[in-house]
């Protein structure tokens, strides 16, 4: 699996303005619900927050991988969000998060969910990949950097 398999330009957002983890997830839920069929913003937000209550998805190095399984989700969908500034995400390294990759998975796709998370963790674990994303100044650049598999 590559990021391009689950990410589209429409689900790439550079410069989301927010001041907390809760607001980042809420704003992202509202934005995604506008473009993904059958996804309700409130249900998505509640699912993401519910997952955070089990343990932070703050991966470290300024990265968070919020994820959830949803009844109305028809296919594995990713969204890449670069925040305008880092926010406290209760990350394992206590560093503020400035990049989120949100993963939405159909309720029944348990194995696929874990496989995709593993792939994302590997990719976002690369310092060069993170630096490339942080250097982006707009949505087009951010999408191009995310799907570039040359690293």
CA distance 22 to 150: 34
Q: What are the tokens at 40?
A: 């309700």
**Residue that the structure tokens 């159909």 belong to:** 106
CB 109 within 8 A of CB 77: no
Catalytic residue of the set 29, 32, 47, 67: 67
Query: For this structure, is 67 an active site residue?
Result: yes
CA distance 5 to 143: 12
Active site residues: 67
């Amino acid at each position: 699996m590559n990021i391009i398999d689950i990410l589209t330009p429409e689900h790439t957002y550079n410069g989301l303005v927010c001041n907390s983890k809760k607001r980042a997830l809420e704003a992202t839920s509202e934005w995604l619900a506008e473009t993904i069929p059958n996804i309700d913003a409130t249900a998505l937000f509640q699912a993401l927050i519910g997952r955070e209550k089990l343990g932070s998805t703050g991966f470290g190095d300024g990265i968070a991988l919020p994820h959830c399984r949803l009844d109305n989700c028809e296919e594995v969908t990713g969204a890449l969000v670069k925040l305008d500034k880092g926010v406290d995400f209760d990350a394992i390294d206590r560093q503020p998060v400035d990049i989120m990759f949100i993963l939405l998975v159909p309720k029944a796709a348990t194995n696929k969910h874990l496989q995709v998370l593993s792939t994302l963790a590997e990719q976002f674990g690369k310092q060069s990949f993170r630096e490339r994303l942080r250097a982006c100044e707009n949505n087009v650049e951010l999408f191009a950097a995310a799907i570039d598999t040359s690293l």
